[in-house]
Amino acid sequence: MNPPPAARCWAEIDLGALRHNARVAQERVGPNTALLAVVKANGYGHGLLPVARELALGAGVRRFGVANVAEAACLQDEGAWPPEIARETTISLLSPALPDERAEVVRRRLVPWISTEAEARAYAATVARAGAETPLEVEIEIDTGMGRSGVLPPDFAALRRVLATLPELRLRGLVTHLPSPDEDADFTRAQLLAFSKIVADSENPADARARVHAQNSAGLLGYPLAAGCNSARPGLMLYGASPLPECQALLRPVLTLKTRVTLVRELPQGWGVSYGRTFLAPRPLRVATLAAGYGDGYPRHLSGMGAAVLIRGRRCPLLGRVTMDQLLADVSALEPPAVEPGEEVVLLGRQGGSEEISAGELAARAGTIPWEIFTGLTSRVARRYFGGSG
């Protein structure tokens, strides 16, 4: 596959793999459970519009989660879906809106998660001022242990009663979030059990059970669907990275990050490489300069951490510090013919044979998480899509 014209660093995004991962998510929760696909942060760096379109057209997803109003506006205003699909689609806000954003939430008919009585009353007042003919659909977020947003369990019933007095709002779901399904199984099982009990005990649950969901990717892969839930929220797994290593084989990586060699030089023994001279050549080396750096989202924290790139299907060690626009790799071990400027380099993904550099590997070496690896890719990285359903 040829890169886009003049691309120095680009991502190849396999929409067929995206569909596969969505099917895996659906199979894990069963055919009667709806998926809410999390596409925030530019579709985890994969491209918001192409990802959302493929999930709708190719995987039948009709519910999407974004972090803010601007992301929702992009989906709606840029025409992510044909009109007939857009009419069936709902967009949930996974983070609280700012007070000044509530009018836009109402105008766009987004689905906010409500945490407090004050928030509920503010939305009701906004709906009234807008003269909306139909109530705004909302979901109550219950804080069962995340500690970030949501109503605490002892206060849920009171908030539920307040919502019942606000004709401007219609309760359409209950939701909670799992903070550590990939780290603390006992806590997660207790959390899911507590949420299920709240759902079962809630007043007039027929309204709330329109959308009841708790499980993110790790929760979906590692635990049975919680009692009372009829929806799930896959995020990271859609993009081919499993938060649970034992489930990685189920998924197909969606993104391959590539760059090119710009220069090849011979460096003598003892010569310093990159800023700070943290690496000194232990022997004469053939070093390739690559056209990518932390300005493209390749983590600077990979400096000196044993990271490698793939050239001709072989691992070539990264040398010295990652710089803003360039990387340096040892290509001394590559067999003739010598590496030439213009050759393709894989920074993340697979290149020939069995060699692969995964997001999980890069994250572990950089002391971070795969989510940050993906979402850290900058606008300087060109995106190229293939394998779409139409």
List the pLDDT tens digit at each of the 390 positions of the chain: 555 566 899 999 999 999 999 999 999 999 999 999 999 999 999 999 999 999 999 999 999 999 999 999 999 999 999 999 999 999 999 999 999 999 999 999 999 999 999 999 999 999 999 999 999 999 999 999 999 999 999 999 999 999 999 999 999 999 999 999 999 999 999 999 999 999 998 865 545 457 999 999 999 999 999 999 999 999 999 999 999 999 999 999 999 999 999 999 999 999 999 999 999 999 999 999 999 999 999 999 999 999 999 999 999 999 999 999 999 999 999 989 999 999 999 999 999 878 999 999 999 999 999 999 999 999 999 999 999 987
Q: Are the C-beta atoms of residues 237 and 195 closer than 8 Å to each other?
A: no
Residue tagged active-site, from 40, 223, 239, 298: 40
Dihedral class, residue 83 (left if φ above 0, else alpha if ψ from -120 to 50, else beta): alpha
Q: Are the C-beta atoms of residues 169 and 120 closer than 8 Å to each other?
A: yes
Using CB atoms within 10 A of its CB, is residue 277 exposed (0-12), middle (13-18) or buried (19+)?
Answer: exposed
Q: Map tokens 């009372």 to a residue.
A: 228
Tell me if residue 44 is catalytic: no
Q: Are the C-beta atoms of residues 149 and 141 closer than 8 Å to each other?
A: yes
> Coil, strand, or helix at residue 361?
helix
The values of phi and psi at residue 286, to 5°, are: -100, 120
**E strand or H helix at 159:** helix 156-164
* Alpha-carbon distances of 76 from 49, 53, 87, 377, 389, rounded to whole Å: 10, 11, 11, 23, 21
pLDDT recorded at residue 203? 65
> Coil, strand, or helix at residue 174?
strand
Q: Are the C-beta atoms of residues 130 and 103 closer than 8 Å to each other?
A: yes
Domains of the chain as residue ranges with CATH: 15-241 (3.20.20.10), 255-357 (2.40.37.10)
Tell me if residue 40 is catalytic: yes
Residue tagged active-site, from 223, 258, 275, 298: 275
